[in-house]
Amino acid sequence: MERSTFKSEIPIYQIPGGIHPAEHKTESNQAAIQKLPLGKEFTINLKAQAGKRCLPVVSVGDKVLKGQVIAESDGIFSSYQHAPTSGTITAIEKLPIAHPSGMKDLCIRLEADSQDQWCDLKATKKYQELNREQLLARIFEAGIVGLGGASFPSHIKLQRQDGIKTLILNAAECEPYISCDDRLLQEHSKQILEGAMVIAQLYDDIEVIVGIEDNKPKAIQALVDAREACNKKNIKIAVVPTKYPSGGEKQLIQLLTGKEVPKGGLPADLGIVMHNVATCFAIYEAIIEGKPLIKRLVTLTGEGCNQPGNYWVPIGTPIHELVSATNSNRANHYIMGGPMMGFDIQNTEAGIIKATNCVIMNQQNPRDAEMACIRCGACMDACPASLLPQQLYWHAKSDEFEKAEEYDLFDCIECGACAYVCPSNIPLVQYYRYAKSSIRNQRVEKSKADKARERHEARQERLERVKREKAEKHRKAAEARRKAAEAAGQDDAKKAAVAAALARVQAKKKNQKEESS
Amino acid sequence: MDLITAVIILSFLALIFGAILGFASIKFKVEGDPIVDQINDVLPQTQCGQCGYPGCKPYAQAIANGDEINKCPPGGEAGVKALADLLGREIIPLDEERGETGPVTVAYIREDECIGCTKCIQACPVDAILGAPKLMHTVIVDECTGCDLCVEPCPVDCIDMLEVPETISNWKWQQPEMKIDFKEVS
Amino acid sequence: MIQSSPFTKKKNSVAELMLWVVGATLLGLAAQVYYFGGGVIVNIILATVTALATEAIILKLRKRPIKQTLFDGSALATAWLLALALPPLLPWWMTVLGASFAIIFAKQIYGGLGNNIFNPAMVAYVLLLISFPVQMTAWLPPVELAQNPASISETLSFIFTGQGSNGLTVEQMRLGVDSFSMATPLDHIKSELSQGYRIVELKESPIFSNLSGVGWQWVNLGFLIGGIILLFKKVINWHIPFGVLAGIFITSSLLYVSNPDQYLSPLFHWFAGATMLGAFFIATDPVTASTTPKGRIIFGLGIGILTVLIRVFGGYPDAIAFAVLLLNMAVPLIDYYTKPRVYGHQNKSRNGL
């Protein structure tokens, strides 16, 4: 594939490991961005972002306009969802979602009225006049999440201000087949840089670096031209050699700064905030045009795709509509995301989500049989996190989760480089995911058990206490009674004594009388 | 004579090493959890009483005193294994008389039918049922251990034990199917 | 069954790796055939057939799928490497014994490929060496020195009947005047040194050549080139061969500098015996070698150092096999202490070590 000769404007560091799979980018990055005919039905997944599921604010039968809020953020660590087109809400229920499990989850189904009529938009040409809070609120309300794949709510990422010195725009796009960021840069570099300027305004003094792989010469040229056009000289373009997974957040930071995000920490700990170029474009649209995030650029490609290319797709468009719109009748297997980190779509009813950068349509091929591990270490040489995949595999396979954690299982980014190079065809990532999800479930169970124990102990203690208190009460009552009884007894004694005394006195008198008489 | 020398030397050595070991055992003594707490940590804390003891802690105490480790159906085979590992005992099959290991459940009160008798509240070992006399009761699902103890006392049979459904938040990846089954023979 | 990503795979396989290893030995093998006759080919055929048959039988007994495992090339590589290390005229049953022992006791008993601790070929080699020391050290003289090189029929006769056409055994031949059989240069030097000769005097012996012994230097050069091909094909990493050669170089240099009369030069050690075969083909066996980058270097260095020490001070002329087995034992320890620093972790160590 063509390589850019553009010289990186900052020094580039090395990352360990990595692989060079066949790129398959030219299938989709040659044609200009297209639009698909407006679909009839949309299925919007309410748990499509990192964080909490959003809360629907419409009911079945409601008519909504394009861009209208249909689900609100549940607290701060969540996001908004907007209607991708105008139409009627036909269902709010559990529907198939785009998730590796193939399960159903709460979705809103919208039937388009084919008017595609916008609601009122709050465009702001002069975003410079908005303050930090206002900008963040707009980004929040526009439902913007990271479009690189993790769907992390952007307003949360942008919240921390102090110590942030560098904004990195991630345009590396290292996965094979995917070319949506490439194409977006080729056609909309100006808007992307404008979006980056919006982000830059949130910080006092920030340096902007665009990190891009050298297999996107046209996009690099477009960036250079756009920078020239909008006179943003302080933006630096960093060209990194094409290698998977250089577009991983941690890897790109290492490539551009030579620093590593500390374990358990965030890029912000290094004074860095990173956003995908598509997110910058979404922020541009949200602030300057007032449009919420209701569409995204998706690469439709794969051997089974008849019209590969990049398309603007409204969020919630079911996969089968993408298949029929591109006449991809030869395909029977659909991958959401790239071939390295994507997942199988099990139900094409599922709608695309904000993180869907690519749908690969191809024919299902049976995998080669898994053979014994010969400990060749090819996986270790490919691991960008410097883990020992062969040891992780060994422990994950035999359910020795503690050992796997000791070998830093949770530092694995699941990039798949190890499984790609394995001569024994071992699905290593699946073993790691199995171990990770088992450990997570065990932790949940453990904390539940701990809570149950505490509650049980508290209850035991309460019962004891109640019993004790009851006993105490009884005892006190008894004592009171006894005292009362005693008191009563003493009265009697006094009376008796008095009576006795009186009797004695009387007897004396009688005696005296008898004596005297 | 040689024999005596050897015996003396060996005894002397034994004495020295014994002293060192004794010193070390005091000096480097590991302050661990008492064994009962460690056992209790492994038990699932369902507090269901299927083991025949009034809760997990008493069973932990009993195990520490030598009772069998296979009396906890909610813990299942995995629980027996964990206990065996902890205590260095043999892994034995679960005592079936105690019940079977079923799926994780939670109690659910059909609220329309509840008469507000508070009997279930009294039975719940973890205070997971909320209510007051003559008022409807309900289960705090997150706190329920699925122990079953509330079902029996209910005079109107309005409590169901429902399986906890798999959702995307507790969904789990499975181990790959080995095309070559290495566990087949062993 | 839900399958996880990745959905793309590099086109490679264990069988491919093993075939590359076997293929890369061909240059060294050619040199061996040229200098020491066709016996090694017979050994290779014998060992391969035995190893594959044994593997098939054991897999059958263990009720494992046979076809897939049999053709992963690992048994072939084991047999091939063992045969390359055996003397050309070794009686057939010893080769058969070695190859079957390698598969049964060094590989399958541990659970098959990937689970064995010791290099199977070297376990078999050591078994044969300590059981049949005489036969195992009886090499042919290189063709340039042989007065009557063994013909094909003579070779076959020796291997399968234990005696040549004239009815003499290999040992008898060795003692005989025609020097049909002789020791390897390393063996020769060892016995001469023990008789009080000095290296300079030994250099006069016809068995010596520029780098090491006649013929042996070419065999080693052949394996070196094959090894470099494997490096370029990324079948093996540079760490282990580098470690082995560096270990040999450092140790033998120290000895050589201290007393050149008594100790051989590093160059000689590099190109004598099984050095190159060991460094590039045997020590690099992935299953039994260390797997961390630093660990691989330590593993190689250990083999190199031990090889020289055993060659010089030990009871056996060559020592690659012993050194490899000894370091195999140390692999879990090496791996544990050379765990690479994981991305984002502060220090290299864990558990405070």
Peptide linkage before A292 cis (omega within 30 of 0): no
Mean pLDDT of C107-119: 90
- Of residues C200, C202, C323, the one with CA closest to residue C273: C323
**C296 located within any domain:** yes
Residue B74, pLDDT score: 87
Asked if residue C275 and residue C214 are part of one domain, the reply reads yes
Inter-CA distances, A336 with A50, B23, C185, C316, Å: 17, 64, 64, 62
Taking a contact as any Cβ pair under 8 Å apart, which residues of chain A between 386 and 425 contact chain C? 386-388, 390-391, 406-408, 411, 414, 416, 419-421, 423-425
Residue A149, pLDDT score: 79
Query: From the CA of C69, how many Å to the nearest CA of chain B?
Result: 10
Distance, in Å, from the CA atom of A328 to the CA atom of A381, rounded to the nearest integer, reads: 38
| Location of structure tokens 């591990």 | A373
Taking a contact as any Cβ pair under 8 Å apart, which residues of chain B between 89 and 148 contact chain C? none
Q: Give residue-wise pLDDT tens across range A270-285.
A: 999 999 999 999 999 9
Chain B contact probe: residue of A49, A343, A455 with most B CBs at under 10 A: A455
Q: Residue C176 — pLDDT band, cuts 50, 70, 90?
A: very low
Q: Domain range for residue C203?
A: 185-339
For residue A311, pLDDT over 70 is answered with yes
Residues of chain C neighbouring B184 (CB-CB closer than 8 A): 63-64
Q: Is C251 helix (H, G, I), strand (E, B) or coil?
A: helix
User: Given C122, C157, C181, which residue is the final one in a domain?
Assistant: C181
Mean pLDDT of A77-93: 93
Asked if residue C218 and residue C163 are part of one domain, the reply reads no
- Closest-CA residue of chain C to A377: C291
Q: Which of A254, A340, A429 is facing C8, going by the closest CB pair?
A: A340
Q: How many CB atoms lie within 10 A of CB C313?
A: 9
Distance, in Å, from the CA atom of A235 to the CA atom of A239, rounded to the nearest integer, reads: 13
Q: Residue A264 — pLDDT band, cuts 50, 70, 90?
A: confident
- Of residues C312, C301, C236, the one with CA closest to residue C273: C312
For residue C147, pLDDT over 70 is answered with no
**How many beta-carbon pairs below 8 A join chains A and C?**
135
Asked if residue C202 and residue C97 are part of one domain, the reply reads no
Asked if residue C225 and residue C104 are part of one domain, the reply reads no
Asked if residue C208 and residue C177 are part of one domain, the reply reads no
Q: Which residue has the higher pLDDT, C90 or B184?
A: C90
Residue C45, pLDDT score: 94
The count of domains in chain C is: 2
Residue C179, pLDDT score: 46
Mean pLDDT of A481-486: 86
Chain C contact probe: residue of B174, B178, B183 with most C CBs at under 10 A: B174
Taking a contact as any Cβ pair under 8 Å apart, which residues of chain B between 26 and 45 contact chain A? 40, 43-45
Residue C207, pLDDT score: 66
User: Given C158, C181, C204, which residue is the final one in a domain?
Assistant: C181
CB contact under 8 A, B180 and C1: no
For residue A140, pLDDT over 90 is answered with yes
Asked if residue C151 and residue C218 are part of one domain, the reply reads no
> Any chain B CB within 8 A of the CB of C5?
no
Q: Which residue has the higher pLDDT, A449 or A492?
A: A449
Q: Which residue has the higher pLDDT, C194 or B139?
A: B139
Residue C173, pLDDT score: 53
C-beta of residue B107 within 8 angstroms of C-beta of residue B144? yes
Residue A1, pLDDT score: 67
Q: Give residue-wise pLDDT tens across range A362-420.
A: 988 888 888 889 988 899 999 999 999 999 999 999 888 989 999 999 999 999 999 99
- Of residues A400, A502, A9, A432, the one with CA closest to residue A223: A9
Mean pLDDT of A420-434: 94
CB contact under 8 A, A430 and B176: yes
Q: Which residue has the higher pLDDT, A495 or B20?
A: B20
> Any chain A CB within 8 A of the CB of B171?
yes
Q: Which of A102, A342, A384 is facing C7, going by the closest CB pair?
A: A342
Q: Give residue-wise pLDDT tens across range C248-289.
A: 999 999 999 998 888 888 888 898 888 999 999 999 999 999
**C16 located within any domain:** no
Query: From the CA of A158, how many Å to the nearest CA of chain B?
Result: 26
Asked if residue C198 and residue C296 are part of one domain, the reply reads yes
> Any chain C CB within 8 A of the CB of B30?
no
- Cα atoms in the 13 Å half-sphere on the side-chain side of A510: 6
For residue C18, pLDDT over 80 is answered with yes
Q: Residue A515 — pLDDT band, cuts 50, 70, 90?
A: low
Q: How many CB atoms lie within 10 A of CB A130?
A: 16
Asked if residue C125 and residue C52 are part of one domain, the reply reads yes
Q: Residue C178 — pLDDT band, cuts 50, 70, 90?
A: very low
B/e letters for C262-286, b = 16+ CB within 10 Å, e = fewer, are ebbbbbbbbbbbbbbbbbbbbbbbb
**C278 located within any domain:** yes
Residue A504, pLDDT score: 78
Q: What is the pTM of this model?
A: 0.86
> Any chain A CB within 8 A of the CB of B126?
yes
Q: Is A19 helix (H, G, I), strand (E, B) or coil?
A: strand
Residue A160, pLDDT score: 86
Residue C164, pLDDT score: 64
Asked if residue C198 and residue C330 are part of one domain, the reply reads yes
Q: What is the dihedral of CA C336, C341, C344, C345, to 10 degrees?
A: 50
Residue B89, pLDDT score: 86
Domains of chain B, each with CATH number or no CATH? 35-98 (1.10.15.40), 105-163 (3.30.70.20)
Q: Which of A100, A434, A453 is facing B56, going by the closest CB pair?
A: A453
Mean pLDDT of C76-96: 91
Report the length, in residues, of chain C.
353
Q: Give partners of C (≥3 CB pairs < 8 A).
A: A, B
CB contact under 8 A, C4 and A427: yes
Mean pLDDT of A486-513: 76
**C31 located within any domain:** no
Asked if residue C242 and residue C161 are part of one domain, the reply reads no
C-beta of residue C42 within 8 angstroms of C-beta of residue C156? yes
Query: From the CA of A343, how many Å to the nearest CA of chain C?
Result: 6
CB contact under 8 A, B185 and C1: no
User: Comparing A398-412, C143-157, C170-184, which segment has the lowest mean pLDDT?
Assistant: C170-184
Q: Is the ipTM of this complex over 0.90?
A: no
**C13 located within any domain:** no
Q: Give residue-wise pLDDT tens across range A329-370.
A: 888 899 999 999 999 999 999 999 999 999 999 988 888 888
**C20 located within any domain:** no
Q: Which of A254, A339, A408 is facing C6, going by the closest CB pair?
A: A339
C92 Cβ partners below 8 Å, 6+ apart? C42, C46, C159, C160
- Cα atoms in the 13 Å half-sphere on the side-chain side of A435: 29
Spans in chain B with pLDDT lower than 50: 179-186
- Closest-CA residue of chain A to B44: A449
Residues of chain A neighbouring C289 (CB-CB closer than 8 A): 375
CA-atom Rg of chain A in angstroms: 36
B/e letters for C164-176, b = 16+ CB within 10 Å, e = fewer, are beeebbbeebbee
Taking a contact as any Cβ pair under 8 Å apart, which residues of chain C between 51 and 80 contact chain B? 62-65, 68-69
Mean pLDDT of A38-60: 91
The token pair that represents B155 in the structure block: 């005079």
Query: From the CA of B185, how many Å to the nearest CA of chain C?
Result: 7
Domains of chain A, each with CATH number or no CATH? 26-362 (3.40.50.11540), 370-475 (no CATH)
Give the DSSP H/E element, type plus range, for residue A313: strand A309-314
Query: From the CA of C245, how many Å to the nearest CA of chain A?
Result: 21
Q: Residue C170 — pLDDT band, cuts 50, 70, 90?
A: low
Asked if residue C335 and residue C190 are part of one domain, the reply reads yes
Residue A154, pLDDT score: 93
Q: Give residue-wise pLDDT tens across range C37-66.
A: 888 899 999 999 999 999 999 998 888 888
User: Given C130, C164, C181, which residue is the final one in a domain?
Assistant: C181
Distance, in Å, from the CA atom of A127 to the CA atom of A139, rounded to the nearest integer, reads: 12
CB contact under 8 A, C63 and B174: no
For residue A240, pLDDT over 60 is answered with yes
Q: Residue C175 — pLDDT band, cuts 50, 70, 90?
A: very low
Asked if residue C80 and residue C122 are part of one domain, the reply reads yes
